[in-house]
Amino acid sequence: MYEQVSHSLLNDILTEIEAEIKDKNLQYFYTRLGANFYAIYSLFHQLYGHRDDFKLQLHQLVKILTRSYIARSEDLRQLDLAREKNHNWFLSQQWVGYAIYCREFSGNLKGLDKRLGYLQELGINMLHIMPILDCPKGKSDGGYAVRDFRNINAEIGTVEDLDALAVNLKKRDTLLVLDVVVNHTSDEHAWALQAIAGDKKYQDYYYVFDDRSMPDLYEETMPEVFPENAPGNFTWNAEMGKWVMTVFNDYQWDLNYQNPAVFIEMVDIILYWANHGADIIRLDAVAFLWKKIGSTCQNEREAHWILQLMKDCCQVTAPGVLFIAEAIVAPIEVIKYFGEDAINAKECEIAYNATLMALLWEAVATKNALLLNRAIRSIPDKLERATWLNYVRCHDDIGLGFDDNDIRLAGYDPALHRQFLLNYYTGQSASSTAKGIAFGTNIKNGDARIAGSLASLAGLEAAIEQNDADAIQRSIDTILLLHGVILAFGGIPLIYYGDAIGTLNDRAYLKDEYKKNDNRWIHRQIMNWQRSELRNEKGTVEQRIFSGLKKMIVTRKEITAFADHNNRELIALDNPHLFCFVRFDGAGRYPRVLVICNFDHAEQSCDIDGLRKLGLLSHAVVKNLLSDDIIDLSTSMLSIPPLGMYWLDT
């Protein structure tokens, strides 16, 4: 939109940097800046308009956008243009993601280059490398406590190694996902060190207080994220003689986005990694970006403004780059990270679907889909040009963040049901073969989350220990069933490293002084490449999981109805063990794929006539796309094997 005040300001800024921008071929940059500037100005004004330095800071922001564009390579600029033309490119069913810790997966970045063949064999074409930036040893939170946002951890490699990797990934049509930890820095970051040294400018980069009066006010309403390891949300820094807000670990200092300088620094960092070839940036802990006394300091409306502003800025310089929102919050809140009151995504294009993840584990434990069927309806429709990141397991804990009301509607008591799930996954219930452990137990309110590798949670570890072939089969079927859902549901599936070969819990972290207090390391194992070779040996656990998953991935990529365009309908069946939805494609809603999953350990069936009444399964036979088997529909009931899944071509 054209608006005089902002436009004349923009002209002033461009005049000021005239020498820098002269002869620089900025045509595309100017059109984007012109298109977005009013939005940028307005949001920046909403957040920082009351400050004396408002104009100065806005000048600085535009300079950063311009310099980053000038630094952007011609190849990346071309990619931006191609993606502008084909703007729904990331909604395609072609994408299949994989998340790794670089050190644990391949030792370092050079080693990672040698493992790209493995990823390609599985069908992966989007690689999320979790944070690899410089962090203090022992106080790194797995890379999420960054000391230098522009340098890679020396043990993992160099920026040049990453550049080389980015080029190789592009050759393989594989997307590169990198983290930018926007909410906090390490207490050894240069900003923090200068704050500690007494520099007021840098103390303003954080939430720093002389005494407990403000921290105590905040604490009244702020929950604790790591109650066991890092109780409270503030840490006393003796050197500085002040309290600092540290929502996560005591060495992770929360950045103060009430200061525009912090916002501008972060935009600069995001664009730095975009210019190093990141296709997608994962923005960590976005729910926490704005703190306000009297609130939980999560999901505040200003946090959304910050993200919108980041998006608007990134679109000017690197419009082909997408954002992932890492917001592990209730469905009604998570949906806002795509943007509110909008048709197209205007904050982050992608968001973690933590609700689906947690519901899948609930269905495995209860062997039914009562809560899954109920609570999945609480996830509102996403915006256009937005998609989910669907996952079964990630590097973090599993939180039981379901809505109490949904639990009640599914027929359970919320507190008892959560306790049941916790007991189930931490191996304290007789009915369970899961071998997880409780993470983040909060003795004040009894909350806890779950750590443990996917395979160990799915019973594989216990089954192998007991040498029980049937139980091994059940856990393999569970692993495949869970992945089958995330591959078919709509969104980008994200597979966690090691899960394709059934990696079990690894208790080695207990012997590591830096890791032993954070039991999420039980599922952040060193990739066992020797075991992974067994994927080529028929009949091994590794081969059964890997080949099953690989087949599902190949099949997913062929089914255009699996692209994500809000083209899914949940189907209510009478049988509580079954989870069923239909995916359709095109205006005539064809072709369609009917997905049916059985979470029970026994065969289950559903009424074919019921489905026919919905216009589904009208033919005499139907093909299961997962196995190519033809299923006879001349009987009245369709049976689904124990822990089985159909993708029916209907």
- Rounded to the nearest whole angstrom, what is the least distance from the CB of residue 396 to ligand OTU in the complex? 4
- Is 326 catalytic? The answer is yes
Lookup: tokens for 214: 């403000």
CA angle in degrees (0–180, nearest 5) for 188-189-193: 70
User: In terms of CB distance, is 26 or 225 closer to ligand OTU?
Assistant: 225
Q: Which of 279, 312, 326, 347 binds ligand OTU (CB under 6 A)?
A: 326
Exposed / middle / buried, residue 173 (Cβ in 10 Å: 0-12, 13-18, 19+):
exposed
**For residues 98 and 562, which CB has a smaller minimum distance to ligand OTU in the complex?**
98
| Closer residue to ligand OTU, CB minimum distance, 229 or 258 | 229
Stretch that binds ligand OTU, among 139-147, 197-205, 533-541, 630-638 (CB under 6 A): 139-147
Q: Which contiguous run of DSSP H or E holds residue 439?
A: strand 437-439
Residues 350 and 325: beta-carbon distance below 8 Å: yes
**In angstroms, what is the minimal distance from the CB of 521 to ligand OTU?**
11
Q: Which is nearer to ligand OTU, 269 or 561 (CB)?
A: 269
Q: Is residue 491 part of the contact set for ligand OTU (CB under 6 A)?
A: no
Using CB under 6 A as the binding rule, whether residue 142 contacts ligand OTU is answered as: yes
Task: Report the distance separating Cα 554 and Cα 281, nearest Å.
Answer: 26
Min. distance of Cβ 223 from ligand OTU in angstroms? 9
254 binds ligand OTU (CB under 6 A): no
To the nearest whole angstrom, how small is the minimum distance from the Cβ of residue 509 to ligand OTU?
14
Choice from 287, 471, 482, 501 touching ligand OTU (CB under 6 A): 287
The C-alpha atoms of residue 116 and residue 113 are separated, in whole angstroms, by 6
Cβ-based nearer residue to ligand OTU, 207 or 647: 207
Confirm or reject binding of residue 152 to ligand OTU (CB under 6 A): no
Could you tell me the smallest distance in angstroms from the CB atom of residue 210 to ligand OTU?
26
Q: Which residue shows structure tokens 């679109």?
A: 315
Does 328 sit near ligand OTU (CB under 6 A)? Answer: yes
Among candidate residues 340, 344, 339, 373, the one with its CA nearest the CA of residue 356: 373
Which C-beta is closer to ligand OTU: that of 352 or that of 546?
352
- Only one of the segments 110-118, 284-292, 500-508, 628-636 lies at the binding site for ligand OTU (rule: CB under 6 A); that segment is 284-292
* Residue in the structure block whose two tokens are 């006393």: 236
| Residue 496 C-alpha from the chain's centroid | 11
Specify the stretch interacting with ligand OTU by CB under 6 A; choose among 376-384, 394-402, 457-465, 523-531. 394-402
Label residue 110 left, alpha or beta by phi (over 0 means left) and psi (-120 to 50 means alpha).
alpha
Choosing from 80, 326, 499, 542, which is the catalytic residue?
Answer: 326
Q: Determine the interface stretch with ligand OTU among 5-13, 253-261, 311-319, 393-401 (rule: CB under 6 A).
A: 393-401
The contacts found for 299-306 with CB under 8 angstroms, 24 or more apart, are: 299/327, 299/329, 299/333, 299/336, 302/47, 302/257, 303/257, 304/336, 304/337, 304/339, 304/340, 304/347, 305/43, 305/46, 305/47, 306/47, 306/257, 306/263
Per CB under 6 A, does 489 bind ligand OTU?
Answer: no
Q: Does 253 bind ligand OTU (CB under 6 A)?
A: no
Q: How far apart are CA 646 and CA 308, in angstroms?
A: 40
Residue 352 falls in which region: left (phi positive, over 0), alpha (psi -120 to 50) or beta: beta
Query: According to the binding rule CB under 6 A, does residue 319 interact with ligand OTU?
Result: no
Cβ atoms of residues 126 and 92 within 8 Å: no
Q: How many residues are listed for the chain in this entry?
A: 650
| Least CB distance to ligand OTU at residue 648 (A) | 36
Judged by CB under 6 A, the stretch of 82-90, 323-331, 456-464, 606-614 that binds ligand OTU is 323-331
- Written in H, E and C, the secondary structure of 21-34 is HCCCCCHHHHHHHH
Structure tokens belonging to residue 390:
């669907």
Nearer to ligand OTU, 224 or 268 (CB): 224
**179 part of the active site:** no
Q: Running DSSP on this structure, what letter comes out for residue 398?
A: B
| Least Cβ distance, residue 225 to ligand OTU (angstroms) | 5
Stretch that binds ligand OTU, among 27-35, 73-81, 140-148, 455-463 (CB under 6 A): 140-148
Contact mark string toward ligand OTU, 212..251, x via CB under 6 A: -------------x----------------------x---
In this chain, which of 141, 250, 312, 349 binds ligand OTU, going by CB under 6 A? 141
Task: Check 187, 284, 349, 397 and give the catalytic one.
Answer: 284
Residue of 95, 98, 144, 584 that binds ligand OTU (CB under 6 A): 144
At closest approach, how far in Å is the CB of 468 from ligand OTU?
Answer: 33
Report CA-CA distances (Å) from 482 to 15, 372, 378, 400, 458.
57, 13, 20, 17, 10
Nearest to 594 by CA among 627, 612, 621, 617: 617
C-beta closer to ligand OTU: residue 246 or 475: 246
Using CB under 6 A as the binding rule, the residues of this chain from 178 to 207 that contact ligand OTU are 181
Q: Are 576 and 558 in contact (CB under 8 A)?
A: no
C-alpha distances in Å from residue 432, one per residue of 141, 428, 645:
31, 8, 22
- Residues in contact with 353: Cβ distance below 8 Å, sequence separation at least 6, in sequence order: 334, 379, 388, 389, 390, 391, 491
- For residue 578, the SS3 value is strand
**Given the rule CB under 6 A, which of 57-65, 208-216, 230-238, 325-333 is the region that contacts ligand OTU?**
325-333
Closest CA to 263 of 271, 251, 255: 255
Q: Is the peptide bond before 131 cis (omega within 30 degrees of 0)?
A: no
Among 285, 410, 454, 486, binds ligand OTU (CB under 6 A): 285
Residues noted as catalytic: 284, 326
Judged by the rule CB under 6 A, the positions of this chain that interact with ligand OTU are: 141-142, 144, 181, 225, 248, 284-285, 287, 326-328, 395-397
